[in-house]
């Protein structure tokens, strides 16, 4: 098997396995609250979302550590922590033990390390496709989790869900040891895919990235908050027993994916990506407002469907927009910051959602999350129309004058990293003459093969 194909398939499988173990608890945790001492909506919301906090805290440090001690070592360590957390959660009899287990699950934060390893093992030409495949695997694991979680819980309780998560973590370790290739060396052009601590403060202040980071924060807060109340709604409003919740989740998720994917492709093809983005945020807000008030069968299912159409569309568009907006040479750092906001959103969604339900009920909670989406929509209105930008990397010898490069047709921005001899260039393909740019750079600087 080709090394790149093996790398992409194994790491996508690894990502999906781990996320499946995390996601399976989403549709069932609030249905089995009475199994834990001291449990209430507030503490269960914390248990639901706390993995996001520990993910956010540990993913960048572990990713940076992997630069020094190796990717596979860090990934195996993270999976062992995940397995330990799953075992703690499986053996918990109180909500405090459940919270500790979920926190440990998240502390095995290997997302940034897996993506860095994927970058090490793939060429620049195939990297975007590889990232897309990993993203698709996460979507598949999310759908499977909503179906398997209720079925496993009906058979063996929440303990069974966490035991299954632990088993998945062990399978993930086997995948790392026996399927994932070991990189022979790290090409210098891959440096852009890694998070660089010195760049974080500047990217926090970047207006375009701040809009997108706010978006992923709100999006994952809403999806986590939704599962604070949706399982109970399916029981109370649709009279569905817990093991049969898949009868709603499966068709809704499949149809939402079928609608969202062609919509995104059509919007990109027609140059209407911004319009599709704004409409999706509006649909997300309206569906949440509707769920706060609707308590009958067909209407409830239809609103859940619209929510997931919007969610899938936004989940697919946001990483692409981050990649386009990030300044040259900062893609890895920008994606690390983006992922941190994503995990923090999941944490806040569980904590705030559980607290609001405990004090004011599900209607107000959903309405406030809908208002957060309206705020996001207002912020996103000022977003410039996404352009068809690309990223070029040259390995050059010192020295180089950036001003000469940025004045070339189609060059939007360039960054020269002198200590690595790397020239990162953002280009606008609508204006770029690629052969002329190659000729210009070759005539003025020494380009390493």
Do 271 and 404 have their domain in common? Answer: no
* Domain end marker among 386, 420, 435: 386
Do 370 and 415 have their domain in common? Answer: no
Query: Which segments of 92-123 does DSSP mark as H helices, in order?
Result: 95-107, 111-121
User: How would you class 33 by CB atoms within 10 Å of its CB: exposed for 0-12, middle for 13-18, buried for 19 or more?
Assistant: middle
Report d(CA 362, CA 351) in Å as an integer.
Answer: 14
User: CATH no. for residue 429?
Assistant: 3.30.70.100
- 399 upstream amide cis, omega within 30 of 0: yes
Do 242 and 380 have their domain in common? Answer: yes
User: CATH no. for residue 368?
Assistant: 1.20.1250.20
Find the helix or strand (DSSP H, E) in which 92 lies. none
Domain presence at residue 30: yes
- Predicted confidence (pLDDT) per residue in 30-53, tens digit: 998 778 999 999 999 999 999 999
Report d(CA 213, CA 193) in Å as an integer.
Answer: 18
| pLDDT for the residue 249 | 92
Do 183 and 88 have their domain in common? Answer: yes
Domain presence at residue 449: no
Determine contact, residues 237/296, Cβ cutoff 8 Å. yes
Domain count, the chain: 3
Domain of 35? Answer: 1-194
* Domain end marker among 386, 413, 430: 386
Report d(CA 389, CA 324) in Å as an integer.
Answer: 6
**Residues of the chain where predicted confidence (pLDDT) is lower than 50:** 187-189, 403, 449
Task: Give the global pTM.
Answer: 0.86
Domain presence at residue 142: yes
Do 351 and 412 have their domain in common? Answer: no
Report d(CA 180, CA 15) in Å as an integer.
Answer: 12
Do 287 and 421 have their domain in common? Answer: no
| pLDDT for the residue 187 | 46
- Predicted confidence (pLDDT) per residue in 67-87, tens digit: 889 899 999 999 999 999 999
- The number of helices, as runs of H, and strands, as runs of E, in the chain is 15, 3
- Predicted confidence (pLDDT) per residue in 149-189, tens digit: 998 998 888 999 999 999 999 999 999 999 999 887 554 44
Do 355 and 420 have their domain in common? Answer: no
């Amino acid at each position: 098997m080709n090394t790149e194909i093996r790398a992409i398939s194994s790491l996508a499988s690894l990502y999906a396995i781990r996320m499946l173990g995390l996601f399976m608890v989403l549709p069932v945790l609030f249905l089995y609250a009475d199994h834990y001492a001291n449990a209430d909506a507030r503490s269960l919301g914390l248990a639901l979302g706390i993995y996001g906090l520990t993910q956010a805290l540990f993913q960048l440090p572990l990713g940076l550590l992997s630069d020094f001690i190796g990717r596979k070592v860090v990934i195996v360590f993270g999976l062992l922590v995940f397995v330990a957390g799953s075992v703690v959660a499986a053996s918990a009899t109180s909500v405090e033990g459940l919270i500790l287990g979920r926190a440990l699950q998240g502390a095995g934060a290997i997302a940034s390390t897996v993506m860095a390893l994927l970058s090490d093992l793939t060429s620049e030409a195939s990297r975007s496709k590889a990232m897309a495949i990993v993203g698709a695997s996460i979507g598949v694991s999310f759908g499977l989790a909503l179906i398997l979680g209720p079925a496993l819980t009906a058979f063996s309780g929440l303990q069974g869900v966490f035991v299954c998560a632990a088993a998945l973590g062990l399978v993930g370790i086997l995948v790392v040891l026996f399927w994932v290739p070991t990189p022979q060396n790290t090409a210098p052009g891959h440096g852009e895919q890694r998070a660089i601590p010195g760049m974080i403060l500047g990217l926090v202040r970047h207006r375009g990235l701040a809009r997108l980071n706010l978006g992923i924060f709100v999006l994952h807060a809403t999806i986590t908050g939704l599962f604070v109340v949706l399982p109970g709604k399916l029981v109370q409003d649709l009279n569905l027993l817990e093991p049969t919740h898949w009868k709603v989740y499966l068709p809704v998720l499949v149809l939402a994916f079928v609608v969202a994917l062609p919509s995104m492709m059509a919007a990109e093809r027609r140059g209407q990506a911004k319009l599709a983005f704004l409409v999706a945020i509006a649909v997300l807000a309206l569906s949440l407002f509707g769920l706060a008030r609707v308590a009958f069968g067909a209407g409830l299912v239809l609103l859940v469907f619209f929510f997931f159409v919007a969610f899938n569309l936004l989940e697919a568009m946001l990483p692409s927009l981050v990649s386009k907006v990030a300044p040259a040479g900062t893609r890895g750092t920008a994606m690390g910051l983006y992922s941190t906001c994503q995990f923090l959103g999941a944490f806040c969604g569980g904590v705030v959602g559980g607290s609001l339900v405990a004090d004011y009920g599900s209607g107000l909670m959903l309405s406030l999350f809908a208002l957060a989406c309206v705020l996001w929509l207002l912020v996103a209105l000022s977003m410039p129309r996404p352009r068809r930008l690309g990223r070029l990397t040259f390995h050059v010898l010192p020295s180089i004058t950036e001003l000469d490069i940025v004045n070339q047709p189609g060059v939007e921005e360039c960054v020269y990293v002198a200590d690595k001899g790397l020239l990162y260039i953002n280009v606008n393909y609508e204006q770029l003459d690629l052969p002329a740019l190659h000729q210009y750079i070759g005539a003025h600087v020494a380009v390493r093969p």
